[in-house]
Amino acid sequence: MTANTDNIFDIVIVGAGAVGCAVARELSGFDLKIAVLEKESDVAAGTSGRNSAVVHAGFNNKPGSLMAKLCVEGNEGFEKVCSQLDVPYKKTGKLIVAFDESDFAGIDQLMENGRKNGVKGLEFVDAHTVKKLEPHVGGIGAMLSPNTAITSPFIYTVALAENAAQNGVEFYFETEVNGISKRDGLFRLTAGKRHFFSRYIINSAGLYSDRIAALAGDKGYEIHPCRGEYFILDKRTSQYLNMPVYPVPRPGLGGLGVHLTPTVEGNILIGPSAEYIKSKSDYSATKGVMDQLFKEAKELLPALEMKHIIRSYTGIRSKLVGPKTGGYGDFIIEESGVVPGLVNLIGIESPGLTASVPIGRMVRDIIAGREELVPKKDFIAERKGITPFRELTLEQKEKLIKECPEYGEIVCRCEGITKKEILDAINNPLGVTTLAGIKYRARPMMGRCQGGYCLTRIVDILKEQKGIEPEQVTLRGNNSKLFTGRVK
């Protein structure tokens, strides 16, 4: 295939995680032809969709680091982005709880870090206040971070991508880049039999960012995958927790320690563990870690019971520091020194979600430093999400059903999701029709029955709406077929 107007872009972004989509959205404000290439079947399929869903305040990160700077910036602007893009956001605050005297030193350190990083509002609260804020959590004192918030990382990434798409960005899923060459100032990215040409490559490939850099000729990086496992608890437990509750981090740990986080939907997350692994795609949950997670979480919240667990999931951190060093490195956000036009976003682990929009702005500035960027006159800054029927008043519900009777058909019993919401999810602007895509957009199959009631109905709707036969339905694209055929 040769270059033509269809496959020549100004910018190709590799990786449709939160960072890649935030970059896409930022750059879609300018007169640029942009493509996002993603090896999986949807956005947020890697680390972006598999984390604690916390909008961090920025006190954990080393003063002077990019992580600290962009996290604080990201936290400040997050609410606005969420309101523009119709993304769930809740400023819950967060507690770092001390369980014995030795933890106080760690809290002092965090307060000091926070001050240096410009984090506002951090304060030490005594056991009495902890009890008041979180009656079910123990502890002898805590640091309260009032600006920490929670969001839905998946919806957030979808929203960024949809808004970018509204502004002309093209998304290519199941498109794994396996070759990059450069001729006459133009990159050629090969994905199987397809080719994409561009003047710039934004390497936001997360766990695989080292590989993409190397394909382009920049061989100096190594990402160390570090797995974290989580449990999701039944919504009935939401009464036990108002805000994220973390232990004081232990030095050298690859993460922040097992913590409890309420989700914007009303569940509780337990996790994550931190375990360096060899494979970047091994999302297995393991018995030993699962047992340990529950044990540690129960120390934080004694009311927990095994029967509250409805699901587990795992995420993999893309760390620049290996197991020997431990702790955190810093984000790399820069144009490659050896491959001009390649902008590397490497080592974007936590707080990458929080920092994603500022990262997008940094990328914009890098490009603006090389050429003049012309703002798009007709840029659309807002995006509307799926209306959550369950959260409306009876009057609003009645009105919606009148306008559209499909709001009156509850497809998912546990989460109260209507057929209209499922249809909106199926007809998403990115054209994703996988079961996971529908699940993360509209939340069916996310409740305590995990699809026992609604899976069959969604299979029917896919056929009815998109003509997708059951044997074509996939969980996450590629070969993840749900069924093997017809009975007869």
Which one of 56, 224, 259, 308 is the catalytic residue?
56
Q: Name residue 229's beta-bridge partners.
A: 314
Q: CB 156 → other proteins: shortest distance, Å?
A: 22
Q: Which of 71/309 has CB closer to other proteins? A: 309
| C-alpha neighbours within 13 Å on the C-beta side of residue 480 | 13
Q: Omega of the bond prior to 153 within 30 degrees of 0, cis?
A: no
Q: Which of 64/405 has CB closer to other proteins? A: 405
Q: CB 471 → other proteins: shortest distance, Å?
A: 8
3-state secondary structure of 81: helix
Q: CB 451 → other proteins: shortest distance, Å?
A: 7
Q: Which of 356/418 has CB closer to other proteins? A: 418
Phi-psi region of 420 (alpha: psi -120 to 50; beta: other; left: phi over 0): alpha
Q: Which of 236/364 has CB closer to other proteins? A: 236
Q: CB 147 → other proteins: shortest distance, Å?
A: 32
3-state secondary structure of 22: helix
Alpha-carbon distance of 249 to 272, in angstroms, equals 13
3-state secondary structure of 11: strand
User: Dihedral angle at the C-alpha atoms of 332, 251, 268, 385, nearest 10 degrees?
Assistant: -10
**What are the φ and ψ backbone dihedral angles of 28, each rounded to 5 degrees?**
-70, -5
Q: Which of 65/312 has CB closer to other proteins? A: 312
Alpha-carbon distance of 115 to 159, in angstroms, equals 32
Q: Which of 214/482 has CB closer to other proteins? A: 482
Tokens of 123: 């304060």
Residues near other proteins (CB under 8 A) are 231-232, 236, 281-287, 290, 306-307, 309-313, 394, 397-398, 401-402, 405-406, 408-410, 413-414, 416, 435, 448-453, 455-456, 459-460, 470-471, 474-476, 478-488
Q: CB 435 → other proteins: shortest distance, Å?
A: 8
Active site residue 56: yes
3-state secondary structure of 441: helix
Alpha-carbon distance of 111 to 146, in angstroms, equals 13
Question: Cβ(40)–Cβ(176) under 8 Å?
Answer: no
Q: Which of 63/408 has CB closer to other proteins? A: 408
Q: CB 434 → other proteins: shortest distance, Å?
A: 10
> Residue 17 contacts by C-beta under 8 Å, 6 or more apart in sequence?
43, 44, 45, 46, 47, 48, 157, 204, 206
3-state secondary structure of 173: coil
Alpha-carbon distance of 254 to 328, in angstroms, equals 7
Q: CB 352 → other proteins: shortest distance, Å?
A: 23
List residues with catalytic annotation: 56
